[in-house]
A and B are shown apart, each in its own frame.
Chain A
Amino acid sequence: MATNGQLPEELLRIPQPPAAKNWVRLWASITFALLLLGLYEALIGAPTEATMGIYQRIFYFHVPAAMIGFLSFFINFLASIWYLLKRSPRADALAIATAEVGLAFLSINLTTGPIWAKPVWGIWWTWDARLTLTLIIWVMYVSYIVLRQFTPSAELQPRLSAALGIFIFAAVPIDYMAIRWWRTQHPAPVILGGKNSGLDPHMYFAVLCCEIAFLALMATLVRFRYEQEIVKHWLEARRRGVLLTQGELGVTDQGPGIRS
């Protein structure tokens, strides 16, 4: 196949935007149904906790948001390694998609936490290990996205992002283990927390429903954002193709350009 100037062969095979969006309606419907089920279980289905009362119901969105956020960052970490090894634009698209979606979920975790803390602890915030580390991780992923926006070079941008994505993920397992390693104001883990932890089976079911709903939402958002990034790459490559065929870059090229 013709190289078409700087047009990567992989991008030439990427479908145009309208064809790529057929899955959206189905996925969005499934996700919406799961979210409704999760919301029902969290607010009505699950029993009221004895000590904290109704405030404990914030748990059903607070904890899954953190878990799904961290899962997104883990995928970002893998995609960053994949990018550095293969220089694949797909890996770069997956990395930015998971960073953004992970940040949205972590934002939910960070805002619902203080709203839960105020009536239960009497304070909005305390600088304990778990809370501080989560805030630091949030700031680092904001920096990751800002860095991408302000890196002008198209070649340097994904490489820098990938390197940063690998390094900042190191804080995520430390944050996960913070409430196991250190004494914190934040409660000890009730899920995967050892022999003294646990939940009422119906509460487990409610958490599971919210986890699955958030997982479906994450998958939908990541796929949507991933396809946008792929289309952006595709458009940039095509634009270069058009410019090249028109000789606007001072290069003669016989590539396909835009046919439609």
Chain B
Amino acid sequence: MAYVVAAYGVAWAIHMIYLFTLGAREKELRQSLETLKALGRE
């Protein structure tokens, strides 16, 4: 049972790591957008 839980846990963890990576990139893009808007207003 421990092996099955470990396998499904690892699959879940890999997806979560990738989702966090996507989230961090999204945040970075939004910050760039704000910076660009500020640049455009200057």
Contact = CB atoms under 8 A, between A and B. Distances in A.
Interface in B1-42: 1, 3-4, 6-8, 10-11, 14-15, 18, 22, 25-26, 29-30, 32-33, 36-37, 39-42
Contacts of A119: 3
Contacts of B22: 221, 224-225, 228
B36 A61 contact: no
Contact of A116 (B7, B18, B39): B7
Contacts, number: 80
A36 interface: no
B3 A118 contact: yes
Given A54-B4, A221-B22, A111 B10 contact: yes
Interface string A79-122: 00000000000000000000011001001100110011011000
Given A242-B39, A242-B40, A258-B37, A108 B10 contact: yes
A260 B24 CA distance: 24
User: Which secondary structure dominates chain B's binding surface?
Assistant: helix
A221 B18 contact: yes
A105 to B, nearest CB: 9
User: Which secondary structure dominates chain A's binding surface?
Assistant: helix
Given A61-B11, A108-B10, A108-B11, A235 B36 contact: yes
A189 to B, nearest CB: 20
Given A235-B36, A258-B40, A108 B1 contact: no
A225 B6 CA distance: 28
The 5 closest A-B pairs by CB, nearest first: A258-B40, A112-B7, A58-B7, A115-B7, A104-B18
Interface of B: 1, 3-4, 6-8, 10-11, 14-15, 18, 22, 25-26, 29-30, 32-33, 36-37, 39-42
